[in-house]
Structure 1
Amino acid sequence: MTAVPTAELTARAHEASAEIVADVLTLVHHETGSYDLPGLAAGLDLLRELTVHRLGPPEREQRHPGGECGDTLTLTYPGTGPGHVALVGHYDTVWPTGTLAGWQHPAPGDDGRAKLSGPGIFDMKTGLVQGVWALKLARESGAPVPTVTFVFNGDEEIGSLSSRPVIEDVARRVDATLVLEPSAHGAVKTARKGSGIFQVTATGIEAHAGLAPQDGASAITALSEFVVAAAAVAAPAVGTTVNTGTIQGGSATNVVAGRATASIDIRVSSAAEQARVDDALDAIEVSDPRVRIDVDHAWNRPPMTLGAASAPLLDLARTVAREQGRTLSHTAVGGASDANFVAALGLPVLCGLGAVGNGAHAQGEFIYPDTVPTQTALVAGVLGRLATPLRGPAAAG
């Protein structure tokens, strides 16, 4: 079975570059903040319309209701080879509706290289479009292509709370999963930290701050002690970070605070560190025993490492990149993604095949448009080689 010719794919991607970028901007100009349900619904409709416009109607589709989160859409396009691949990407962004109107566009770099900027363009609307075009180019080449199931979810930025079961179910039924998150300066991401958002609640005793302060037990004071102790649990040398992002509490300045809460972002590189952090936070004691501390251990994503199942995918992508005349590197990053879920199942997954640019979650995030054709052709080339299953039929399910 002959694989899709990489040189042909790359040339065709360059010819279609203006159309690909136009599709990217179409998605970017419709805002899809993670908490804007009407905006997310309309954005998913737009993404589906764009996909069908480029690929035709899917053989199967299902819109999975997200409840308080954006819906998840699965679209399956039959292939001409026996393989089956999932292309996963999120359409929600961290940017609230209205951000686009005041967006600050970055200036070109010192080398004068063009940039395109907009909320979510890097993370990760460019990756979504590149995935659609990758299948289009692979199909048009005439070489065998695998069946492809797109998974578009609208809640990745807030933990994939509703979409995780859908992603895991699809991943179990395919031979390989490609996650179209942005690259790390062109490198794919083969290791990601596990993440958790812990809610810490301090419950004290209210009292008048002037008349009877001794009768009170300050939840704010106790919580302050806790977050300082929690910060000391971090172990940067092994990749463990602890960041208290928000604190709320108290009712008035002249009242000893009866309640206070904190949200703590925790990142770990291993299951062993995850267990250590759990134990260390539970062991923290505050000076006033009258204050109760409750810690919600809300681990969201497990750590991701390059396991035996995924190593062949990396080799395959590197082969395609070499045929493009470049070297594809891989790296570990601190951020988590939906690839963490797939890796934790012991299934083949490769992440970071999307945009080349910078500034995720930052004002002025951008892509380099001159990289769009090469990245699109990379994914198309990988799809072509996955027309033959990466795993055996029994494992693929």
Structure 2
Amino acid sequence: MLPRVLLRLFALLLCPVLLSACRHEDAPPLDQQLYIWQRQWTPAHAEALAGSRADFSTARVLALQAFPQAGWSRARIDAGLLKQDARPLIAVIRLDGQLPSLDQDEIIRQVQQLLTDWQEQGLALTGIEIDHDAGSARLAAYAKLLERLRAVLPSHLALSITALPAWLDSRELPGLLAKVDSSVLQVHAVSDPRQGLFDPRQAEQWARRWARISDKPFYLALPAYGVALLPAAEGAPLVESEAPLRRRGQRQELMADPEQLSQLARTLRNDPPPHLAGLIWFRLPLKGDVRAWSLETLRAVARGDALAGQLGIRLEEQDGLFDIRLSNAGNLDQPLPEQLTLAVAQCDGFDGLGGYAAQLRDGQLRLTRQQSGRLAAGTSRAVGWARCTKIDQGAAHVRP
């Protein structure tokens, strides 16, 4: 037996490890919320809202925007869907960072009018969020706006702001955060997008630094989307996101990596910075949104589920005509594979579909990808057809 002194020393060393393991195991899940950022709502919002309700507690909805020259514009929301959804609702007012100045009187008038209009439509707000990518030199003026706005807002409405990591070095930041109830630290696409949409290590460092600035609750805004970069005549490339740009040119596609985000969420869940209240995902994906994760993948990441794609070939036959479909039975969106191969017999017609070209040689039907793309989790797409006496489902192969 070990001497009693050594046993006590061993216990003292082991205890923190055991407590840490228990704490990680019992760590409460972080609150998960969603940005709804479409400027014009479509029938696809009904399915997306219904599918997201169980996993995301709160909807933060783009409501109002102000841009230089273009002025003010309202997002065309569907108030009926939001009332039916019945989640806590936060209206987001976007003040473009390139505005030459903040007209406090006009901003307050616009916000008050928005509140009145939404109330008349039966929408009960729980908060207002101001999204203003101000430069650090303008934070003092921004704080004055927020102070005035807080004074005129109903007391039951929480006031929050979207915030930038670049503000971390500003002496004005503590005073700014004192004017609001909470902040949303945006840790995606904050620098040159050519460097990528997201750096998980940098995001965690920013979050832990932010937690030391103020004791107010804060959230992290995380990416669940992609963009395309288009070459510009000079300077930084143009960024194409949910709205297509009417411009020709080779597009470089960038997509936030679900597995990176899942790992970061797990780290924050097990060892959260002080005052971290939750995660807000940008943005609610609609059916057909090619630059957003599927809702299936977004839900899996939010839940902390293990992620895996599961590509396969599915055949649908009628009177010798085979429809060839590529399916993804997993919960992780997958890039379209480079080639699909099927063993066939006596084919008198075939063709590729959905970005694939078909070729028949030596009893093998090959479907070769002609353009890049993704297959959303839980979906399938037609990639070809063939009229053959036989296609051997068991001899079908997918090559990444």
| TM-score bin (small chain) | under 0.3
Task: Answer 1 or 2: higher relative contact order, Cα 8 Å, separation at least 6.
Answer: 1
> TM-score, normalised on structure 2?
0.24
TM-score, normalising length: structure 1 = 0.24
